[in-house]
Structure 1
């Protein structure tokens, strides 16, 4: 499929899609919708940018790399148009690459070196979003992020002298189109007024029946459940994206964008939230579940090894270069450091015990850079491995492990009388998403599967729960549970598969994605994560206090008892739309 993007130099109010406008410099309070002060071409000149080439199905070769070249051409053409427009005349375009319908570019060429600032003016009670690059230049190319769909968004561009003094401003109205009808919109259970900040919850809700065919969308939601960023669903969705550097994010490349229909991608991509793809790297084997951006700039990625009857027990460490393939520096096979134990999860989905014995679903690096942790769902274990690939510790219930693993098992901290000193301490089961808060505190999404190593003592779904939990790992290999949320909600938040947790330093709050809540049509909870069932997902932000206070709760759910259709969310990332520009 070839997509041609055409722009028209028309006027001052910009429409979505193929509209492009130029307007004159105004005073601080003037509006570009005042055509008496704007530049309007009586005979609009039509500009055609380079085609965006979507490679054919199954083609993983040069056409994927061509996407980078095409986006570079579009960007360079936009820069050229800005530089050839009248001096001090802003030029704008919504969704320049056809991938981010709620993003835009604004460019302006000033008559002398200046600084520019973007101000996204929200509605009543909404925060004003600001982005001010530090660059002093004559040609400003500014990303406009955080727009609403089907809205005349008000954006102000303030020009500052190179010393920082305001010189004037432009008031733009950016008219966006409605999002696709299929775009999931959450029910807002709670949105605390004083919790309305600048962050977005980036999630990929998928609608479908159980684990069957899903219709995924990648969106960014504010604390009131309003969609402020979206990826073009015609090009698929990414299950995970994380801010990287210089305005770019890393993500598993959506399959349709890569040219493959269905299945898991072998591609990692760098892109920005205006939709421009900056780079793409191909891996030798399937990429899945998680990647971590390391302190030294490399990435650690969960992948498969070369073994034909074994999956999801390998992590690679790679350097991201300008070459099309991932430069793999290290490979970690979990079997080389961890001796497995038999668990219910081994056989729950009918797998052979040796096939998906570990199921790596999360990676994070300790802030001091000396070791990494790997979450293995099917061992109900979070495993710390030193940089020299030696085993450091195992966070898991101690039952069933081989004797050789005993020295590495973390032990709950005890007082002088030998009593458990961590009130309400519980191990995690089937966990996801390890996230360090600091060198000693680790968050997990504790799915809670069975809460036992044996069926005879397993906790049934109607008595079970999932949690956001924070542990403190002490230097003597003892462990404390210092905070949790979710148990108090019981089976209503029980998610036997997928899920995530993120700690927000700026607000000292915790965001949880209870993404795989499994029920039948009548609403009864279940442990079954294969076949037909009804999914629901809750995105919840709570205060990092005891007890936690719910600040925001967004629910994706289909309550129609006549269908198995529901919503699943794998994980999420919480970040301001401009956060990647400050890294």
Structure 2
């Protein structure tokens, strides 16, 4: 029917357009179910053409340009639909190299609705402060569904499987409207948009996966010695795990966190009782790796070679690695961030040590350039001192701001090292904090934090992110795993696995005191099974959706 209508219309066109007499186009849902909120456009023509595709709804307009389309059966990706809404799609077809010869085709497409199952997708709520300017762009984050775990240390709960065998990436506009989402078969930690418009993400089963915006897997890397064994078609990397964090470098290499497992004699069996008997234990330490796209390691740094494994923090014995395939293996340093710096070096964050270190990437496996954290043991390398302000504890997501400040998401858990008396959850408030960084004199001075007078505050037990936004200087905070108020008031730190979870993303002004410019809250559609949602982190990005080899995309929201 479409072809008949097109041929009828072509009979009325002026002579220069008769070259398009074999033209037809149609739209189909994305054949990859991992990205349901997308479609593919097919344009068949007798010659190469340039295409401008305008996707419109009652809320937005998005424009795609595909140059030099071969006129064959290659599908063209369309993303950025609002779920459950009808969209008009105008396809302007131009003879390649002859922009005076063009005409427009008209289509309609209704995107599928979001999943209604509470275990497949959360509710998203938005608040805005009209008096504070917000950063333009798309907010990308990774919701993580969660059931409370009755016996976390044993790693045998059905809730563990429910939690780890599911991952999401979600992109929303400033209204909190979903415009893209992707589902994986493993929990997702870090993720990054590449310069080519693809997405790379890290999974709990020790993979790095690169996908296109339609969810098609382009390539995968995996830790060669992971418990799951080899990955068919994957690129092996000589390490035990991939965990938490990675970054793609300008040269195409990947900077990431791996692991090393060693037996340590006379090791602790408790983090609260100094008199507890000791024994030989399996202990997991962190590695920082730079690998080529082919999986070759070109730089490696090992925590065991420079830090003391007997310097332990709270949560060493909570069973983190037991639940991830390494029985009776204790979590010592627990790095959760690796970040390349403009000077060529890197920041690495050790949650259990409440320490941030700067690593020298110009040499293989040398001592850190400095270490910064509360009450760190003396060592052969420099320690940064706090000139004024409060230290972070069990922190996440360190970065260097454009002003040269050290910024972290301060979970503020425990506020004590192992064997010391911890601060109770009820007396804890998580925050984002920035420090003036004086590397020459080894000093930190607190410059700004996100605490607001009168704001009740929250306790983020785990995860969290902090990003300085380019245009406004605002700070985007992803709050990780927030404890419910009742749990904060009535429980101690050791019971967190049985607690409910919720999360939020906040955009703060850089003023003092800070103001909340924008807030997104995730909650379960139904809580009949104590289902909750957390997130590893959030970031504001330019409108990457629709960027594709040979295409460009803009949006007018």
106, 112, 129: which one aligns with 2:62? 129
- Following TM superposition, by how much is the alpha carbon of 1:563 offset from its aligned partner in structure 2, in angstroms? 5.8
| Distance in 2 separating the partners of 1:523 and 1:457 | 17
Does 1:172 find its partner at 2:107?
yes
- Following TM superposition, by how much is the alpha carbon of 1:197 offset from its aligned partner in structure 2, in angstroms? 4.0
Does 1:316 find its partner at 2:289?
yes
| Distance in 2 separating the partners of 1:546 and 1:159 | 53
| Distance in 2 separating the partners of 1:237 and 1:166 | 50
| Alignment-derived partner of residue 371 in structure 2 | 394
Q: Does the CA contact (< 8 Å) of 1:433 and 1:500 recur in 2?
A: yes
Compared CA separation, residues 485 and 186, structure 1 to 2 (3 A): farther
Q: Does the CA contact (< 8 Å) of 1:92 and 1:104 recur in 2?
A: yes
Q: What's the Cα RMSD here?
A: 3.7
Q: Does the CA contact (< 8 Å) of 1:113 and 1:136 recur in 2?
A: yes
Q: Does the CA contact (< 8 Å) of 1:23 and 1:91 recur in 2?
A: no
Q: Does the CA contact (< 8 Å) of 2:317 and 2:331 recur in 1?
A: no
| Alignment-derived partner of residue 357 in structure 1 | 332
| Distance in 1 separating the partners of 2:380 and 2:86 | 64
Indicate the SS of the match to 1:470.
strand
- Following TM superposition, by how much is the alpha carbon of 1:360 offset from its aligned partner in structure 2, in angstroms? 0.8
| Alignment-derived partner of residue 531 in structure 1 | 497
| Distance in 2 separating the partners of 1:201 and 1:149 | 17
- Following TM superposition, by how much is the alpha carbon of 1:379 offset from its aligned partner in structure 2, in angstroms? 0.4
Q: Does the CA contact (< 8 Å) of 1:25 and 1:169 recur in 2?
A: no
Summarize the alignment of residues 274-293 of structure 1 with structure 2, pairs less than 5 Å apart. 274-284=214-224, 285-293=240-248
Compared CA separation, residues 459 and 276, structure 1 to 2 (3 A): same
| Alignment-derived partner of residue 557 in structure 1 | 523
Indicate the SS of the match to 2:291.
strand
| Alignment-derived partner of residue 198 in structure 2 | 248
Q: Does the CA contact (< 8 Å) of 1:316 and 1:332 recur in 2?
A: yes
Summarize the alignment of residues 423-434 of structure 1 with structure 2, pairs less than 5 Å apart. 425-434=389-398
| Alignment-derived partner of residue 100 in structure 1 | 35
| Distance in 1 separating the partners of 2:90 and 2:490 | 49
| Distance in 1 separating the partners of 2:287 and 2:397 | 16
Indicate the SS of the match to 2:352.
helix
| Alignment-derived partner of residue 77 in structure 1 | none
Q: Does the CA contact (< 8 Å) of 1:341 and 1:401 recur in 2?
A: no
| Distance in 2 separating the partners of 1:403 and 1:523 | 36
| Distance in 2 separating the partners of 1:551 and 1:155 | 33
- Following TM superposition, by how much is the alpha carbon of 1:514 offset from its aligned partner in structure 2, in angstroms? 0.8
| Alignment-derived partner of residue 151 in structure 1 | 85
- Following TM superposition, by how much is the alpha carbon of 1:443 offset from its aligned partner in structure 2, in angstroms? 2.8
| Distance in 2 separating the partners of 1:467 and 1:106 | 45
Summarize the alignment of residues 17-416 of structure 1 with structure 2, pairs less than 5 Å apart. 87-109=22-44, 114-124=49-59, 126=60, 128-132=61-65, 135-139=67-71, 142-159=76-93, 162=97, 167-182=102-117, 183-192=120-129, 195=134, 197-210=136-149, 212=159, 213-214=162-163, 216-232=167-183, 235-253=185-203, 264-284=204-224, 285-307=240-262, 309-321=282-294, 326-339=295-308, 342=311, 344-347=313-316, 349=318, 355-368=330-343, 370-387=344-361, 388=363, 389-390=365-366, 391-397=368-374, 399-405=375-381, 408-412=382-386
- Following TM superposition, by how much is the alpha carbon of 1:241 offset from its aligned partner in structure 2, in angstroms? 2.0
Q: Does the CA contact (< 8 Å) of 2:83 and 2:112 recur in 1?
A: yes
Q: Does the CA contact (< 8 Å) of 1:461 and 1:491 recur in 2?
A: no
Q: Does the CA contact (< 8 Å) of 1:249 and 1:580 recur in 2?
A: no
- Following TM superposition, by how much is the alpha carbon of 1:558 offset from its aligned partner in structure 2, in angstroms? 5.3
- Following TM superposition, by how much is the alpha carbon of 1:341 offset from its aligned partner in structure 2, in angstroms? 6.9
- Following TM superposition, by how much is the alpha carbon of 1:380 offset from its aligned partner in structure 2, in angstroms? 0.4
- Following TM superposition, by how much is the alpha carbon of 1:114 offset from its aligned partner in structure 2, in angstroms? 4.7
- Following TM superposition, by how much is the alpha carbon of 1:131 offset from its aligned partner in structure 2, in angstroms? 3.9
| Distance in 2 separating the partners of 1:302 and 1:555 | 29
- Following TM superposition, by how much is the alpha carbon of 1:110 offset from its aligned partner in structure 2, in angstroms? 5.3
Compared CA separation, residues 412 and 236, structure 1 to 2 (3 A): closer
Q: Does the CA contact (< 8 Å) of 2:430 and 2:457 recur in 1?
A: no
Q: Does the CA contact (< 8 Å) of 2:286 and 2:302 recur in 1?
A: yes
Once the two structures are overlaid, the 10-residue window that deviates more, 139-148 or 375-384, is 139-148
Compared CA separation, residues 232 and 498, structure 1 to 2 (3 A): closer
| Distance in 1 separating the partners of 2:498 and 2:254 | 36
Q: Does the CA contact (< 8 Å) of 1:305 and 1:313 recur in 2?
A: yes
Pick the structure with more strand per residue.
2
TM-score if structure 2 supplies the norm length? 0.75
Indicate the SS of the match to 2:116.
coil
| Distance in 1 separating the partners of 2:545 and 2:52 | 12
| Distance in 2 separating the partners of 1:23 and 1:298 | 51
Summarize the alignment of residues 442-461 of structure 1 with structure 2, pairs less than 5 Å apart. 442-453=406-417, 458-461=422-425
- Following TM superposition, by how much is the alpha carbon of 1:136 offset from its aligned partner in structure 2, in angstroms? 4.1
Unaligned runs of 5+ in 2: 12-19, 153-158, 225-239, 264-281, 322-327
Q: Does the CA contact (< 8 Å) of 1:508 and 1:543 recur in 2?
A: yes
Once the two structures are overlaid, the 10-residue window that deviates more, 459-468 or 138-147, is 138-147
Indicate the SS of the match to 1:204.
strand
Compared CA separation, residues 223 and 453, structure 1 to 2 (3 A): same
Indicate the SS of the match to 1:450.
coil
| Distance in 1 separating the partners of 2:290 and 2:423 | 37
Deviation per CA, 1:119-144: give whole Å up to 9, x if none.
332434x5x334445x4444485321
| Alignment-derived partner of residue 52 in structure 1 | none
Q: Does the CA contact (< 8 Å) of 1:435 and 1:443 recur in 2?
A: yes
- Following TM superposition, by how much is the alpha carbon of 1:454 offset from its aligned partner in structure 2, in angstroms? 6.3
- Following TM superposition, by how much is the alpha carbon of 1:199 offset from its aligned partner in structure 2, in angstroms? 0.8
Q: Which has the higher contact order (CA 8 A, sep 6+)?
A: 2
Unaligned runs of 5+ in 1: 1-9, 12-21, 27-35, 40-84, 254-263, 414-419
